[in-house]
Structure 1
Amino acid sequence: MPLVADGVPPVDLTAKPPPGRHVELPTRFGPVRLHLRETPGPDPLAPTAVHLHGLAGSSTNWTDLSRLLAGRMRSIALDLPGFGHSEPPPAFDFSRVGNAHVVIRLLESLDGPVHLSGNSFGAAVAIEVAATRPDLVDALTLISPAMPDLRLDPRRLSDPRLALAALPLVGARARRQLAAVTPAQRAEQLMRLCFADPAVVPPHRLAEAAAEFEERARLPWAGPSLGRTTVELLRSWLVPPARSLWRRLPEITAPTLVVWGSDDRVVTVRKGPRTAALIPRGRLLVLPRTGHVAQMERPRVVARAMLALQQADSW
């Protein structure tokens, strides 16, 4: 069936992200105050979409897509623990499974199953959620999921000095240089890494990203959380095959759309066919001239595909 549907109205994609709020959830790590941004749907009975961001991201990564879905769906974009405005509890382990546990607690608090979507690390968390609690996931969209990808390629880093920062001797100098990078420069580096063509980034979104990096620099948990989450992701790529994320894909029962950018430098699009094929009800959509964050680069195309998936009964 086609991966394009009607129902994506013309909307103002210059609007600021919706205001956020916190919800407190009981978890095995203790209480978690999770920060959410909600975009209302057309009516209280509209289906709900829940969106999970990737490394160095936040709930604001879903602003445009959420507005495009609003004619049909309510959207809840969250800050995973340690990102945005979600302070991680002291006992949090920053693993894919730990993040999935927190997301499951959120989904249990909502009315009925949701359309769950995730980008990069958030998509890996979404896979874990969908495989663990299929009753909570009505449909699944995975955008450039962080499947195991151990290629040694400096182009996968927003700043080549990141590879030196953990090394002895030269590491201290690299860390000092990285600390001197301004929030605006960090935002530009991330856009160059994640977008196939950084020129398509609207100036207002770049300014918002820079302001967000500046705000994060004042949060004591932000830097350590990014580092620990990155380490846990890499560790998850090195586990024995029986514990690999690849083994979770066949356990997903929800109809699933796998979206990948043809020019993704972070996780190669060559992982796309295998990812979609291992999911029993999976379909692959490869977007040309698109990088690692299709929901930000091609929000209209992704919104149409998600709505088509939501309406499909035969997948």
Structure 2
Amino acid sequence: MSATVSFTAPTSYGPQEVTVSYARVGRGEPLLLLHGIGHHRQAWDPVIDILATERDVIAVDLPGFGASPALPDGVPHDLPTTTAVLGAFSAALGLDRPHAAGNSLGGLLALELGRQDLVRSVTALSPAGFWTQAERRYAFGVLKGMRGTARRLPLPLVERLSRTAAGRTALTSTIYARPGRRSPQAVVAETLALARGTAFAETLRAGREVLFTDDVSRIPVTVAWGSQDRLLIPRQGLRAKRVLPRARLIRLPGCGHVPMNDDPALVARVLLDGSRAQEASASRTTLRAVAL
């Protein structure tokens, strides 16, 4: 069910009053889901029902995206601050070191939560932070272009385009390998989320110097990359493996940058396996994915 919670986050800029919107469903061990920049928690909708059969699933709108307001004036939307907010969010909900899974920016945040030992496992889908500077500039340029287009398109045109597979492809093929599978309503909603995300520009600026360079060795870590990711190209997964040598590295065949829509069953299996004990995950043979 959709809800909001307000709490105080102990950031490096002093205690901050923050409000976060989230949806919670299912039962089992808690699993925190974190979306990418310019998206919203509904990015996880294709896999929520599967995950909820085994997990207490908490899908979050990051500050300044979706239904969550931006952080207070003067507080940056950078990696340390947002990580502190997510840690305080978990505490406010009484979550004792939840599992964490994230896509893109959300994957980077999940890994940072793991580095700080605030979660019990991490599954990162095409996480940010393993790029070269040229790859980062390319990705940021694409994201800025997508944002500009979303802000310029009149809503009636977005609604009309979303009714056809060709229109959904025009709107979302940068992030989905199979955009025709996304529902018209979802495409309209995420186009609006991209256009209206109040923290988009500041979050992008804060990411200019971000590189994830520390190993996360105390908890199980899975890194998964779509074979058709056009935003953060798959070879970044190999760099992630060098930084995180104990991590399980998974290839998601036929999936784009936001793979939950492209192959929900496969992604749900990766998330569930990633949030089990690492030994159990390694012994499974039913996962339809191969090493990068």
Relative to the length of structure 2, the TM-score reads 0.80
In structure 1, give the amino acid aligned to 2:268. Answer: A
Residue in structure 1 matching 2:107, options 101, 123, 126: 123
For residues 150 and 90 of structure 2, what CA distance do their matches in structure 1 show? Answer: 37
Ranges in structure 1 where 5+ consecutive residues have no aligned partner: 1-18, 163-174, 237-243
- The residue aligned with 1:209 is 187
For residues 90 and 246 of structure 2, what CA distance do their matches in structure 1 show? Answer: 22
CA shift, 1:274, in A, is: 2.3
Number of residue pairs matched by the alignment: 262
In structure 2, give the amino acid aligned to 1:195. Answer: Y
Provide closer, same or farther for how the CA distance between residues 155 and 289 of structure 1 changes in structure 2, counting only shifts above 3 A.
farther
| Contact 2:122-2:221 at 8 Å conserved across structures | yes
Percent of aligned pairs sharing the same letter: 25
Alignment pair present for 1:157 and 2:142? yes
In structure 2, give the amino acid aligned to 1:207. Answer: Q
| Contact 1:191-1:198 at 8 Å conserved across structures | yes
Alignment pair present for 1:92 and 2:64? no
- The residue aligned with 1:192 is 173
- The residue aligned with 2:22 is 36
Instruction: Look up the SS of the partner of 2:200 in the other structure.
Output: helix
Alignment pair present for 1:137 and 2:119? yes
Cα shift readout 1:210-239 (whole Å, capped 9, x = no counterpart): 13544776xxxx454111111111232xxx
| Contact 2:226-2:259 at 8 Å conserved across structures | yes
- The residue aligned with 1:7 is none
Summarize the alignment of residues 48-67 of structure 1 with structure 2, pairs less than 5 Å apart.
48-67=30-49
| Contact 2:39-2:194 at 8 Å conserved across structures | no
CA shift, 1:285, in A, is: 0.8
Relative to the length of structure 1, the TM-score reads 0.75
| Contact 1:257-1:282 at 8 Å conserved across structures | yes
CA shift, 1:125, in A, is: 1.2
RMSD: 2.7
- The residue aligned with 2:128 is 146
Alignment pair present for 1:304 and 2:269? yes
| Contact 1:156-1:265 at 8 Å conserved across structures | no
For residues 96 and 63 of structure 2, what CA distance do their matches in structure 1 show? Answer: 23
Provide closer, same or farther for how the CA distance between residues 105 and 160 of structure 1 changes in structure 2, counting only shifts above 3 A.
closer
Instruction: Look up the SS of the partner of 1:102 in the other structure.
Output: helix
Residue in structure 2 matching 1:180, options 152, 159, 180: 152
Greater Cα shift, 269-278 or 94-103? 269-278
Ranges in structure 2 where 5+ consecutive residues have no aligned partner: 283-292
For residues 264 and 215 of structure 1, what CA distance do their matches in structure 2 show? Answer: 21
For residues 260 and 193 of structure 2, what CA distance do their matches in structure 1 show? Answer: 23
| Contact 2:34-2:106 at 8 Å conserved across structures | yes
| Contact 2:139-2:232 at 8 Å conserved across structures | no
